[in-house]
Structure 1
Amino acid sequence: MTDMPDICGVWRLTSYYLKNVDTGDRIYPFGAHPVGVLILLPQGRMTALLTPDGQQPPSPDGTEAHALRQMVAYSGHYRLEPPNRFITTVDVAWYHPWVGTDQARNFALHDDTLDIISDPSTTPLTGDAVLVGVLAWVRESAVAS
């Protein structure tokens, strides 16, 4: 895998939207300024957590379920496939049906930015529509404190 770009590191989310494969419509499930972190270890473990900007703490009136729907969180072992794919075998997830599945992503690395596009699929965030996730990340070491 010497020809593969080094995507390992800690990444901060700069943008995230879902694109409907049939219509081209964009959906911003976490608003214009989502918050997230992606950790890709050289040992082959990844973890991702995405949430809306300005997310409010859940209240005791049953909004816990809404809060759970307002996030994406999963982890697993990933493998790289030339020229620009990584596939994660999920072993823990906020959405249990993902556990044991392979989540495939295409990526483009440009210095300290990482663009990721998921394979087409449905998502618990939007129901039955077939979508691709489009995410932009910046290397945490490049983010000003």
Structure 2
Amino acid sequence: MLGQHPTGYQIAIAGGRWLALVTAEGRPVPQTDVPQTDAERAQALRTMISYTGRWRVKGDRVVTHVEAAWNQAWVGTDQARIFRSEGNLLHLESPPQPHPNLLGQVARIIVT
């Protein structure tokens, strides 16, 4: 969905705030002197994931209660990710779930 080398960050602040922003590899760069078309803006939205909210740990999961998101349907929901650490690396994995950018297809997102 986002390619082998997406760009982004997932940031957890000790005060309980989580922020995720990930963009697909190979996204086209719009021309700065020409307004984007609706199709170009839609494609930009389909090639990203972004959400923020309050997070907590529940067993082997980090759960974010989403307050704002690129996908409005996520607002007010809990997004849970399985986490594990290896040395100083954190691995996150979403459960298989319908993904709004994939028109009803099920996806599992893995972040390392």
TM-score after normalising by structure 1: 0.68
Please tell me the residue identity of whatever aligns with 1:81: K
Tell me, yes or no, if structure 1 residue 87 matches structure 2 residue 63.
Answer: yes
More helix by share: 2
Which one of 34, 42, 53 corresponds to residue 65 of structure 1? 42
Offset at residue 79 of structure 1 (A): 0.7
**1:48 — aligned with what?**
20
**In structure 2, C-alpha distance between the alignment counterparts of 1:88 and 1:75, rounded to whole Å:** 8
Please tell me the residue identity of whatever aligns with 1:122: P
The structure with higher relative contact order (CA 8 Å, sep 6+) is 1
Alpha-carbon spacing, 1:54–1:132, altered in 2? closer, same or farther (3 Å): closer
Q: Identity across aligned pairs (percent)? A: 36
Alpha-carbon spacing, 1:110–1:131, altered in 2? closer, same or farther (3 Å): same
Q: Deviations over 1:2-54 (max 9, x none)?
A: xxxxxxxxxxxxxxxxxxxxxxxxxxx12221101111011111000000224
Unmatched runs of 5 consecutive residues or more in structure 2: none
Please tell me the residue identity of whatever aligns with 1:89: H
Offset at residue 127 of structure 1 (A): 2.0
TM-score after normalising by structure 2: 0.87
Aligned 1:34-45 pairs, distance under 5 A:
34-45=6-17
